Amino acid sequence: MKVLVAVKRVIDYNVKVRVKPDNTGVDLSNVKMAMNPFCEIAVEEAVRLKEKGVATEIVAVTIGPKVSQEQLRTALALGADRAIQVETDEDVQSLDAAKMLKAVVDKEEPNLVIMGKQSIDTDNNQTGQMLAQLAGMPQGTFASEVEVEGEKVKVTREIDGGLMTVSLKLPAVVTTDLRLNEPRYASLPNIMKAKKKPLETVSPADLGIDVTPRLKTLKVEEPQPRQPGIKVESVEELVDKLKNEAKVI
Amino acid sequence: MSTLVIADHNKGELTGSTLSVIAAAKAIGGDIDVLVAGKDIGGVAEQAAKADGVNKVLTADNDAYGHDLAENLSLLIAEVGKGYSHLLASAGTVGKDTMPRVAAMLDVAQVSDIIGVQSEDTFVRPIYAGNAIATVQSSDSVKVITVRTTSFDPVAAEGGSASVESVDSAHDAGLSEFVSEELAESDRPDLAAADVVISGGRGMQNGENFKMLESVADVLGAAIGASRAAVDAGFVPNDMQVGQTGKIVAPNLYIAVGISGAIQHLAGMGDSKVIVAINKDEDAPIFQVADYGLVADLFEAVPQLEEELKKVV
């Protein structure tokens, strides 16, 4: 079966986020960028399915500016067979991203789409579900276990209060949660090999998608800082403060 | 202008998060109706009808909605939601799972995880793990929204007298089936709604040591949480995770034990009223957000804390 994995280029999760002084957004100039951590888990899951003999081909796809090819090369180094970049410099919001991925799904006809549950920049948690709806597929969101069984996939999902297992008809969309797997690092020989793997570039127009942002960001601000606290010397003092000063116990 | 609120419920009870979503709907303005979908939900509908500010409760009682499968629920919400200007759900796992499908069906954007309402089309939401706060305006005719419930004080659970109408609608998309569920059985309060939360991090060293936190939680009637580091290390299950990718909590008292305070964790508890940090590393970033910091070995401090609390609680 064919697996499509969607990946996104985002700010590296170790980088301290700075809001631009003019409050128009977050400063991303000269900042280290990387593959979204949940997308790494998605790539890893696809590679494991291939290693188990379940998947036969892995296609990685991303949407973004030319430099986001770096993240596709990472996916290729980790084990994807080929890659597709939807190249655009525009602000692609979740619904448009889902429409572009739907166009790629129509062309590639994967049996399974795996993607991250959310990206750590916009924190939306939308695109996988939107793609599933547009493509008429079921969805296994926040997955901690994925098991392909013939024409179905069994997905264990992280839900409020515990775990829930669902059985989905293929083709389906799975979005990854943290504990699905632990992604590997790309080895140097694989990074070299990845440079020769096929990478195709298309434009949103090629896919018949007109990018139309529906949400306008009016401003972006720093969060309100907390008032600085104090250090206490002992557990007795702590409990005294909680009872008599903060009055929370 | 009118809002349809999608109710959250658990074991036949309306959850407190729904009362916070109704509060967000009130801030938007206009009539508020509540949709209760599930199996055997009569009691939930009665509770929703008593909530302050609700105009009408719609019930969809059907096997197809019994396990909150997004493929079925989204069809129902899109159908019942016709004519409303706003569709609101909590940003719990059901809302996160279902509402983007609804938005895609209606060809509109979704505004996720709002923490503030500025006007009927302008909302405030955290991005980058809460390290930036964005104000966004939607140009869509229907606004599909999920609400961070800790940011809205719940409306009163009693006092309302809304009418209850049943919706004769059974959507089974035939795409997905429920197999099984493993829910943590606990007498403790729900993590996302608890007044007091005590959380452990990597400093706990193993899952067994979380029993120390349980003893303190027993004294305080607290829920128990964990940092992502503790979950990743396999000490405790993921449903205990507090942070950007786990639960968002805002209790009156949050006690962080052996947690360094990575930004991903702070994103999940930074709105707590009072934060206590116990950590042996005095340079740990958690102390920058703590109201009361105690630099100490947690294996000595936590049992002492239990003893001291027993004296005063």
What CATH number is given to the structural domain containing B257?
A: 3.40.50.1220
Same domain, B13 and B123: yes
Answer whether A130 sits within 8 Å of B100, measured CB to CB.
yes
Answer whether A98 sits within 8 Å of B128, measured CB to CB.
no
Asked, for residue B184, whether it belongs to a domain, the answer is: no
Give me the pLDDT at residue A32, please.
97
Q: In chain A, whose CA is at the least distance from the CA of B70? A: A139
Reported as type and span, the H/E element at residue A75 is: helix A69-78
Asked, for residue A53, whether it belongs to a domain, the answer is: yes
Cα four-point dihedral sign B277, B280, B286, B291 = positive
- B98: containing domain: 2-166
Same domain, B119 and B205: no
Rg (CA), chain A: 21
- The residue among B257 and B183 whose pLDDT is bigger is B257
Same domain, B203 and B110: no
**Which positions in chain A touch B101 (Cβ < 8 Å)?**
129-130, 132-133, 139
What CATH number is given to the structural domain containing A177? 3.40.50.620
pLDDT tops 90 at residue B185:
no
With bands split at pLDDT 50, 70 and 90, how would you rate the model's confidence at B211?
A: very high
DSSP helix/strand/coil, A187:
coil
Same domain, B216 and B296: yes
**To the nearest whole angstrom, how far is the Cα of B231 from the nearest Cα of chain A?**
9
**To the nearest whole angstrom, how far is the Cα of A193 from the nearest Cα of chain B?**
31
**To the nearest whole angstrom, how far is the Cα of A10 from the nearest Cα of chain B?**
10
Answer whether B93 sits within 8 Å of A231, measured CB to CB.
no
What average pLDDT does the segment B190-195 reach?
A: 90
Peptide bond into A171 cis (omega under 30): yes
What's the number of CA atoms in the CB half-sphere (13 Å) around residue B250?
12
**Chain A residues 145-204 with a CB less than 8 Å from chain B:** 154, 157-169, 172, 177-179
Give me the pLDDT at residue A212, please.
87
Answer whether A127 sits within 8 Å of B294, measured CB to CB.
no
Give me the pLDDT at residue B108, please.
97
Q: What value does the mean pLDDT of chain B take?
A: 96
**To the nearest whole angstrom, how far is the Cα of A45 from the nearest Cα of chain B?**
17
Same domain, B219 and B305: yes
Q: In chain A, whose CA is at the least distance from the CA of B94? A: A159
Asked, for residue B23, whether it belongs to a domain, the answer is: yes
**Chain A residues 82-141 with a CB less than 8 Å from chain B:** 93-95, 98, 117-118, 120-134, 136-139, 141
pLDDT tops 90 at residue B293:
yes
Same domain, B229 and B159: no
**Which positions in chain A touch B293 (Cβ < 8 Å)?**
229-232
Asked, for residue A127, whether it belongs to a domain, the answer is: yes
Answer whether B244 sits within 8 Å of A165, measured CB to CB.
no
The 3 state secondary structure assigned to chain B is CEEEEECCEECCEECHHHHHHHHHHHHHCCEEEEEEEECCCHHHHHHHHHCCCCCEEEEEECHHHCCCCHHHHHHHHHHHCCCCCEEEEECCHHHHHHHHHHHHHHCCCEEEEECEEEECCEEEEEEHHHCEEEEEEECCCCEEEEECHHHCCCCCCCCCCCEEEECCCCCCCCCEEEEEEEECCCCCCCHHHCCEEEEECHHHCCCCCHHHHHHHHHHHCCEEEECHHHHHCCCCCHHHEECCCCECCCCCEEEEECCCCCHHHHHHHCCCCEEEEEECCCCCCHHHHCCEEEECCHHHHHHHHHHHHHHHC
Q: How many domains is chain B partitioned into structurally?
A: 2
With bands split at pLDDT 50, 70 and 90, how would you rate the model's confidence at B193?
A: confident
Of B286, B284, B265, B264, give the one whose Cα is nearest residue B275. Answer: B286
- Enter the ipTM: 0.95
Asked, for residue A55, whether it belongs to a domain, the answer is: yes
- The residue among A103 and A227 whose pLDDT is bigger is A103
**Which positions in chain A touch B223 (Cβ < 8 Å)?**
none
pLDDT tops 90 at residue B183:
no
Final residue in a domain of this structure, among B132, B166, B200: B166
Of A126, A28, A222, give the one whose Cα is nearest residue B130. Answer: A222
Asked, for residue A209, whether it belongs to a domain, the answer is: yes
* Residue A109 structure tokens: 């006809």
**Which positions in chain A touch B274 (Cβ < 8 Å)?**
242, 246, 248
**To the nearest whole angstrom, how far is the Cα of B125 from the nearest Cα of chain A?**
10
What average pLDDT does the segment B260-288 reach?
A: 95
What CATH number is given to the structural domain containing B129? 3.40.50.620
pLDDT tops 90 at residue B161:
yes
Asked, for residue A224, whether it belongs to a domain, the answer is: no
What average pLDDT does the segment B188-200 reach?
A: 93
DSSP helix/strand/coil, A140:
strand
Asked, for residue B171, whether it belongs to a domain, the answer is: no
* Residue B38 structure tokens: 């599930």
Asked, for residue B176, whether it belongs to a domain, the answer is: no
**Which positions in chain B touch A163 (Cβ < 8 Å)?**
181-183, 239
The string of pLDDT tens digits covering residues A192-223 is 999 999 999 999 999 999 998 999 999 999 99
Chain A contact for B253, CB < 8 A?
A: yes
Give me the pLDDT at residue A14, please.
87
Q: How many domains is chain A partitioned into structurally?
A: 1
**Which positions in chain B touch A157 (Cβ < 8 Å)?**
93
Smallest Cβ–Cβ distance between B238 and the set A11, A179, A238 belongs to A179
pLDDT tops 90 at residue B313:
no
Same domain, B144 and B233: no
- A174: containing domain: 2-215
CA distance B247 to B245: 7
With a pLDDT cut of 90, the percent of chain A lying above it is: 93
**Which positions in chain A touch B117 (Cβ < 8 Å)?**
none
Same domain, B227 and B156: no
Answer whether B291 sits within 8 Å of A246, measured CB to CB.
yes
Same domain, B8 and B155: yes
The string of pLDDT tens digits covering residues B38-56 is 999 999 999 999 999 999 9
Give me the pLDDT at residue B122, please.
98
**Chain A residues 52-91 with a CB less than 8 Å from chain B:** none
Answer whether A123 sits within 8 Å of B296, measured CB to CB.
no
**Chain B residues 1-60 with a CB less than 8 Å from chain A:** 10
Asked, for residue B180, whether it belongs to a domain, the answer is: no
CA distance A198 to B67: 43
With a pLDDT cut of 70, the percent of chain A lying above it is: 100
